[in-house]
């Protein structure tokens, strides 16, 4: 926990750091004993075959880091007293999700001590954010990408945002911008679509945002993570209706499919 002096004049960040030091994300694996008989993964419409082909990658200890990633929810207080989050637009040169809005982040590497180290390293590589400017205060519960990569959101606070001079990696990032975190709880700029993924029906949330840097669409996993982050930080649910994919149940489903396949002779 950082001392008061670390936050400069930002009482907002100081209060937020104190609030989040007590946040404990729910653990999926800790709950598996209670839920192993619920049939998740076998009767919920998930294709066991489609999950089984990935189970070795998902759960083999040797490949754990290859299937785990982290993103940095980098928050700062703007001069108007608003809490804002830094986002990027992925380069059109990238093979996956070119042009999409994303949080700084990527897959874990061997030298990374933990998910926080991954998120900070990726932020430095992508946008030139020095880790010395960031105070990591919490991690949210895991999310899962469409490729079944476990994604850990890491919340970091920047008290001296004026010292951050972005340096974009042109191979990975086309643009950097920031938005109000509270936007992800409001109906303004929000729309939705009904979707189905891995047998789960859910609402896909999309947020339109315009700034002097251009027009941006924030959607998919990034929007899901930011809705959750805003709900935790502001301690209230969003004003709009709709539900996200149940990432907790999905992880349990993958785990159960792995157990089933492990018992097949």
The pLDDT of residue 191 is: 94
**How distant is the alpha carbon of residue 29 from its chain centre?**
19
Q: Which of 225, 200, 192, 218 shows the shortest CA–CA distance to 88?
A: 218
The pLDDT of residue 246 is: 58
Q: What is the mean pLDDT of residues 17-39?
A: 62
Tell me the percentage of the chain whose pLDDT exceeds 90.
Answer: 59
Which tens digit of pLDDT belongs to each residue from 224-259?
999 999 999 999 999 987 655 555 566 665 555 455
The pLDDT of residue 96 is: 82
Name the residue with tokens 């874990």. Answer: 108
> Domain 4-262: which CATH class?
alpha beta
Give 171's strand partners.
none
Kind plus residue range of the DSSP H or E element containing 207 = strand 200-211
Which tens digit of pLDDT belongs to each residue from 172-181?
999 999 999 9
d(CA 106, CA 121): 9
Q: How many residues belong to the chain? A: 265
Does residue 44 carry a pLDDT above 70? no
Q: What is the mean pLDDT of residues 23-32?
A: 62
The pLDDT of residue 163 is: 96
The pLDDT of residue 148 is: 83
Torsion sign (Cα): 154, 155, 158, 163 = positive
Does residue 10 carry a pLDDT above 60? yes
The pLDDT of residue 64 is: 55
d(CA 41, CA 222): 25
Which tens digit of pLDDT belongs to each residue from 122-163?
999 999 999 999 999 999 999 988 788 999 999 999 999 999
Which tens digit of pLDDT belongs to each residue from 77-115?
999 999 999 999 999 998 888 999 999 999 999 999 999
The pLDDT of residue 247 is: 57
d(CA 190, CA 218): 10
Does residue 58 carry a pLDDT above 60? no
Split at pLDDT 50, 70, 90, the class of 200 is: confident
Higher pLDDT, 9 or 136: 136
- Other beta carbons within 10 Å of 163: 10
What tokens were used for 103?
Answer: 């949080």
């Amino acid at each position: 926990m950082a001392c008061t002096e670390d936050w400069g004049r930002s009482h907002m960040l100081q209060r937020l750091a104190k609030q989040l030091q007590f946040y404990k994300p729910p653990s999926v694996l800790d709950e598996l004993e209670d839920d192993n008989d619920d049939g998740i993964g076998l009767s919920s419409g998930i294709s066991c075959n489609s999950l089984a082909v990935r189970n070795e990658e998902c759960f083999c200890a040797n490949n754990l880091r290859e299937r785990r990633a982290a993103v940095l929810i980098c928050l700062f207080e703007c001069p108007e007293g608003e809490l804002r989050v830094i986002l990027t637009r992925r380069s059109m040169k990238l093979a996956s999700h070119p042009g999409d809005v994303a949080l700084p982040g990527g897959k874990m590497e061997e030298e990374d001590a933990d998910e926080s180290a991954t998120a900070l390293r990726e932020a430095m590589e992508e946008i030139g954010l020095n880790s010395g400017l960031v105070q990591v205060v919490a991690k949210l519960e895991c999310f899962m990408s469409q490729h079944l990569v476990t994604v850990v959101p890491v919340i970091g606070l920047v008290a001296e945002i004026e010292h951050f001079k972005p340096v974009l990696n042109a191979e990975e990032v086309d643009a950097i911008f920031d938005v109000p975190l509270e936007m992800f709880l409001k109906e303004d700029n929000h729309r939705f679509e009904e979707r189905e993924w891995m047998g789960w029906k859910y609402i896909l949330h999309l947020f339109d945002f315009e700034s002097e840097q251009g027009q941006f669409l924030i959607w998919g996993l990034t929007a899901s993570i930011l809705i959750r982050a805003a709900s935790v930080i502001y301690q209230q649910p969003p004003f709009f209706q709709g539900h996200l994919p149940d990432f907790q149940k999905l992880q349990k489903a993958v785990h159960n499919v792995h157990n089933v396949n492990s018992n097949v002779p």
